[in-house]
């Protein structure tokens, strides 16, 4: 096995700086995208309610047609 190599302090600094900047960028990006995602979820919930209401009405109309034909 090869003994560990001394890594330059400049390389260490660059690696940890990149890691820190990645955390900062990820946090900023997350805080930017979070309200957009919440709005999308709200719109999808409203659309789902409308679809469920339309399906309920269709079922009621189908049930009424069955009773009229009998």
For residue 2, is it within any domain? no
> How many domains would you assign to the chain?
1
For residue 62, is it within any domain? yes
Distance CA 53, CA 37 (A): 24
Distance CA 45, CA 51 (A): 10
Q: What are phi and psi of 7, to 5 degrees?
A: -95, 140
Q: What is the mean pLDDT of each run of 10 residues along the chain (70 residues)?
A: 91 98 98 97 97 93 67
Distance CA 18, CA 46 (A): 42
Q: How many residues are given for the chain?
A: 70
How many whole angstroms from its chain centre is CA 49? Answer: 20
For residue 4, is it within any domain? no
For residue 27, is it within any domain? yes
* Segments forming the whole domain that contains residue 55: 10-70
| pTM exceeding the 0.85 threshold for the entire prediction | no
């Amino acid at each position: 096995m090869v003994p560990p190599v001394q890594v330059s302090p400049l390389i260490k600094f660059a690696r940890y700086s990149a890691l820190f900047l990645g955390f900062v960028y990820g946090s900023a990006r997350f805080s930017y995208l979070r309200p957009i995602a919440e709005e999308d979820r709200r719109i999808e919930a409203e659309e789902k309610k409308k679809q469920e209401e339309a399906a309920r009405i269709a079922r009621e109309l189908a049930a009424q047609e069955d009773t009229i034909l009998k």
